[in-house]
Amino acid sequence: MKKVIIITGGNDGLGKTLTESLSKENEIIILATNEEKLIKVANNNCNYKVCDVSNYFQVEQCINEIIEKFGKIDVLINNAGLWIQEELDTNDSDRINDVIDVNLLGVINCSKAVIPIVKKNKDALIININSQAGINHKAERVVYNATKWGVTGFVNL
């Protein structure tokens, strides 16, 4: 029986690679905000949902729709992430908020929405993709580092 796997940020980078490799033997649902990219990646190999992981109510709605359609969730891969660089004083404040909301709050929101399902399915997994920035620091990446350190703290409960 195919596993039902949700991949946040499955339309680009590592998420896209995971989507392509896992979709051969599993039922994949990718979540992201860019529908054009989602359609391109899904290309009949997987399902997708337009979802802003920084918005808990959108996440909850997507998870409920996935459960309605597939009846289960076996794996959540929290992969969505945004990049920001430069010194803190030169970063745009809206971009800072977006990076924090997606990189950290997105992991928390998706995990929170899926935990009740994971508790019922003892074989289910939540996999959080992080970065070396979650343990190492570079001065020109303070906001990105902060989000990844936050994920490190979150997963090391």
Provide the annotated active-site residues.
Answer: 144
Q: Cα-Cα-Cα-Cα dihedral of 14, 107, 118, 50, to 10°?
A: -70
| Two structure tokens written together for 131 | 């970065």
| Two structure tokens written together for 157 | 């409960």
